[in-house]
């Protein structure tokens, strides 16, 4: 991806990054770059007719660029698979819901028919053939309601990683098998009631949890959609023909109109325009493109017309490389096992071991096969506490609800739960710590008041939608300034803007114009502003300098507080951006961020995250652009700004709906509170086992104490109620 190194060649190292876009695209190309001691003497014009604000930022229903139909089909297959995954998740939620209600209806007669429940209630509703009816209903319930757990157990065992599904499957299989034997072959008490209640509660728990975390990642699909479907191909006889992007070949000539997305990577051979690459490279300012400059597919053209030759197609394009990085990061990301699955894994082993030891012990002691089997089965069945099925799902549902109220959309529960361990948070700059929009930071007036200087600039800039103009206009509106009448508004090639304001010839120009006209200005102060990554424009009345305005990407008000709190929590803060070093240093020092890393490409961001993880750090990445997608996927916790690109949002584990950096702190606090509540619930749920398993095994049999169904049901109900109440008590400060 060396192609976007050219981006940095067009970012002036001394703070005039946006002044690259301050020139007329028709200006002569005889400008030169001086050394770093002379601050960027590039003659620039303010491109006031740029359709910046009118650009289509919606993702066209695009297709991945490829040289052949086969490549095109391949990428669309990936897209369709992502959609299928999302639809499959929705279908699973609906399936669990349906199975729960059907199973609940079947469970009611099973409970009334069960001799154990009748004994517990002190009634006798037995009739001839009732056991066969009980068996029939339980069989339907076992295969219909228990199917998801049986299938899930098979998958877990294939991976040699038994967890919740395996524990549930073990309990219901043993309960069903033993109960069936008591109906047809052996004498004993059945566990059909236990089978039914276990299936119903576990279905309820899974349905609650899946419903609360609905949503599958569609990052790859969103990457594909960034590209337009058609391109304006320039034929050999210089005619324009619209063709599908997939048919473009290396070397083909393409035209891009103002405000359009660039359809594919290429090399400019004619024209000049400022290109918005912020969502691709992280560069906050539009980058001037002219002959022999490389442009990236998916970025947005500014006010000029560009003609370029296609340089890369298929898997060699920039976005295809990003797509590959995202896919690799998602595949390599550690599959963290959730807390409930860890508990279920250990309970599975305990159930198998305790059941086996119980059977062996009673065979040796009593030599009564029926009694030994009954004790072993009882141990295994009650090893899967009903409360365990609700312990985590209820906390999940409550924490998801709290997160939504706090502006957090949790997409990956495992990553969110492990956020409590974070010790490093990496931030992108543009659009994350900053607003991604320019605002005035300094006003220096000479011979006029600051208010008059701003009003003059505001009046001249009011007809433009350029980022610089919007920054000045927003400041004027904020101060409720009344616009002056503007006449003879015009662009000055290679200079800036000129207009007649109240009979005065007011100009808004770049530093290059002052140098060319030998108009004196405070070079030292200008250099100080430029060194901080600020863009400076000058206001003239004829040839008289009235003052100058400095603008920069505005730091979000909540960013400072977020960084301060993270530091107080002993969490390292890191700024990782594709923007130039001086701009990054300016923002980083303002916020007192621990580490500042600038001018990094997308693959470098992902590798930096990987490096931090290899150092043993638990890393969160917060970003909003396409260039952040691979690192969001690679990080232990990917956090997307809600106002960011769909690609970043679909890649992230958590989305900050309010685009507030302070919500990163909320994520950590909610994750820690959620984990503590889950631990409490698991203690309540498994505490039942600590009492029930030894008693079911018969350790106090000689003392006349042996757990009976009534006691087991009472303990089960009590722990389930406690778990439900405790989950509702979850809160964060």
Across the chain, which has 733 residues, the per-10-residue mean pLDDT values are 36 36 33 32 33 30 33 38 53 90 96 87 91 96 96 92 90 92 88 90 86 53 67 92 91 91 92 77 69 87 88 82 65 59 86 92 89 86 77 86 84 86 92 84 92 93 77 91 88 75 90 89 90 87 93 88 95 90 87 92 86 94 84 91 70 84 94 93 80 83 72 70 89 79
pLDDT at residue 468, rounded to an integer: 80
Of the CA atoms within 13 Å of residue 455, those in its CB half-sphere come to 14
d(CA 400, CA 93): 16
- Report which secondary-structure segment, H or E, holds 573: strand 572-576
Based on the residue annotation, tell me whether 20 is a catalytic residue of this protein.
Answer: no
Domains annotated on the chain, with CATH: 2-62+221-330 (2.70.150.10), 405-434+556-670 (3.40.50.1000), 435-554 (3.40.1110.10)
Axis crossing angle, helix 709-728 with helix 663-697, rounded to the nearest 10: 170
The strand pairing partners of 425, in sequence order, are 573, 620
Q: In this predicted structure, what is the pLDDT of residue 54?
A: 29
Look up residue 91 and give its two tokens. 């279908």
Alpha carbon of residue 345 to chain centroid:
29
Give the distance from CA 705 to its chain's centroid.
55
Predicted pLDDT at 644: 63
Q: With the C-alpha atoms ordered 278, 282, 288, 289, is the resulting torsion angle positive or negative?
A: negative
Contact 606, 329 (CB under 8 A): yes
Question: Of 676, 652, 675, nearest to 664 (Cα)?
Answer: 652
With beta carbons less than 8 A apart as the criterion, state whether 231 and 245 touch: yes
pLDDT at 213: 58
The strand pair at 287-289 and 253-256 is best described as unpaired
Sign of CA dihedral 198, 212, 689, 376: positive
| Distance of alpha carbon 54 from alpha carbon 441, whole angstroms | 26
User: 14, 252, 412, 428: which one is catalytic?
Assistant: 428
Which of 28, 46, 45, 35 has its CA nearest to residue 12? 35
Identify the helix (H) or strand (E) that includes residue 72.
helix 69-113
Distance from C-alpha of 387 to C-alpha of 682, rounded to nearest angstrom: 8
**Residue that is written with structure tokens 């560009």 in the block:** 306
Q: Global pTM? A: 0.66
Separation of alpha carbons 482 and 456, rounded Å: 10
Give Cα 665 to chain centroid, integer Å.
16
Burial class (CB in 10 A: 0-12, 13-18, 19+), 12: buried
Q: How far is CA 491 from CA 45, 48, 301, 365, 469, in A?
A: 8, 7, 20, 101, 13
Q: How far is CA 75 from CA 91, 245, 250, 252, 626, in A?
A: 24, 13, 19, 22, 18
| Block residue for tokens 């107080």 | 568
From the list 464, 468, 465, 420, the residue with the least C-alpha distance to 441 is 468
Kindly state the tokens that stand for 626: 């396409």
**What strands, in cross-sheet order, belong to the sheet with 240-244?**
240-244, 230-234, 253-256, 306-310, 266-271, 294-295
Q: Report the pLDDT value the prediction gives residue 53, as an integer from 0 to 100.
A: 29
For 10, the 3-state DSSP assignment is coil
pLDDT given for residue 333 in this prediction:
52
Q: Which residues of 365-388 are buried (b: 16+ CB within 10 A; e: fewer)?
A: eeeeeebbbbbbbbbbbbbbbbbb
């Amino acid at each position: 991806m060396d192609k976007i190194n050219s981006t940095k060649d067009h970012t002036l190292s001394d703070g005039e990054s946006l002044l690259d876009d301050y020139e007329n695209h028709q200006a002569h190309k005889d400008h030169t770059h001086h050394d770093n001691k002379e601050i960027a003497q590039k003659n620039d014009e303010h491109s006031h007719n740029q359709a910046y604000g009118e650009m289509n930022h919606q993702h066209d229903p695009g297709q991945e660029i490829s040289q052949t139909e086969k490549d095109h089909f391949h990428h669309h297959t990936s897209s369709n698979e992502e959609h299928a995954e999302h639809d499959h998740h929705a279908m699973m939620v609906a399936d669990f819901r349906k199975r729960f209600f059907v199973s609940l209806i079947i469970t009611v007669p099973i409970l009334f028919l069960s001799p154990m429940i009748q004994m517990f209630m002190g009634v006798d509703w037995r009739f001839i053939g009732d056991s066969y009816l009980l068996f029939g209903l339980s069989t339907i319930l076992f295969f219909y309601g228990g199917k998801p757990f049986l299938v899930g157990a098979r998958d877990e065992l294939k991976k040699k990683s038994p967890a919740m599904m395996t524990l549930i499957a073990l309990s219901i299989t043993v309960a069903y098998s033993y109960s069936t034997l008591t109906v047809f072959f052996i004498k004993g008490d059945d566990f059909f009631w236990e089978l039914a209640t276990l299936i119903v509660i576990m279905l309820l728990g899974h349905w609650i949890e899946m419903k609360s975390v609905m949503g599958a990642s569609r990052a790859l699909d969103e990457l594909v959609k960034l590209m337009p479907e058609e391109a304006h191909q320039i034929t050999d006889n210089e005619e324009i023909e619209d063709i599908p992007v997939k048919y473009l070949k290396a070397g083909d000539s393409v035209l891009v109109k103002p405000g359009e997305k660039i359809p594919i990577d290429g090399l400019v051979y004619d024209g000049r325009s400022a290109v918005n690459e912020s969502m691709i490279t992280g560069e906050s300012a539009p980058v001037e493109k002219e002959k022999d400059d490389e442009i990236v597919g998916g970025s947005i053209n500014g006010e000029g017309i560009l003609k370029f030759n296609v340089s890369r197609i298929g898997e060699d394009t920039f976005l295809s490389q990003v797509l590959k990085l995202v896919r690799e990061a998602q595949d390599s990301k550690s599959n963290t096992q959730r807390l409930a699955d860890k508990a279920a894994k250990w309970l599975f082993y305990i159930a198998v071991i305790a059941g086996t030891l119980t059977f062996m012990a009673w065979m040796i002691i009593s030599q009564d096969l029926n009694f030994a089997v009954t004790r072993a089965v009882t141990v295994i069945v009650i090893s899967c506490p009903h409360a365990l099925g609700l312990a985590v799902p209820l906390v999940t549902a409550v924490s998801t609800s709290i997160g939504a109220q706090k502006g957090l959309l949790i997409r990956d529960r495992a990553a969110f739960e492990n956020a409590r361990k974070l010790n490093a948070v990496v931030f992108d700059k543009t659009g994350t710590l900053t607003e991604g929009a320019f605002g005035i930071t300094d006003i220096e007036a000479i011979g006029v008041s600051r208010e008059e200087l701003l009003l003059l600039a505001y009046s001249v800039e009011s007809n433009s939608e350029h980022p610089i103009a919007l920054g000045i206009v927003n400041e004027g509106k904020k101060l409720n300034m009344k616009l002056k009448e503007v006449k003879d508004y015009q662009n000055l090639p290679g200079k800036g803007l000129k207009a007649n304001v109240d009979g005065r010839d007011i100009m808004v120009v770049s530093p290059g114009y002052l140098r060319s006209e030998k108009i004196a200005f405070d070079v030292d102060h200008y250099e100080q502003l430029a060194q901080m990554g600020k863009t400076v424009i000058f206001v003239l009345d004829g040839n008289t300098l009235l003052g100058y305005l400095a603008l920069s990407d505005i730091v979000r008000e909540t960013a400072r507080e977020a960084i301060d709190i993270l530091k107080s929590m002993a969490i390292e803060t890191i700024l990782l951006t594709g923007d130039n070093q001086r701009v990054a240093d300016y923002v980083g020092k303002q916020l007192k961020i621990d580490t500042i890393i600038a001018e990094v490409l997308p693959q470098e961001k992902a590798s930096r995250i990987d490096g931090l993880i290899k150092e043993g750090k638990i890393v969160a990445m917060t970003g909003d652009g396409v260039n952040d997608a691979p690192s969001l996927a690679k990080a232990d916790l990917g956090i997307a700004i809600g106002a960011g690109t769909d690609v970043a949002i679909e890649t992230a584990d958590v989305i900050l709906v309010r685009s507030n950096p302070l919500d990163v702190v909320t994520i950590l606090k909610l994750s820690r509170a959620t984990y503590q509540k889950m631990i409490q619930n698991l203690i309540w749920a498994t505490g039942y086992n600590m009492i029930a398993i030894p008693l079911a095994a018969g350790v106090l049999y000689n003392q006349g104490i042996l757990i009976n169904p009534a006691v087991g049901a009472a303990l089960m109900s009590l722990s389930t109620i406690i778990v439900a109440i405790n989950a509702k008590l979850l809160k964060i400060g």
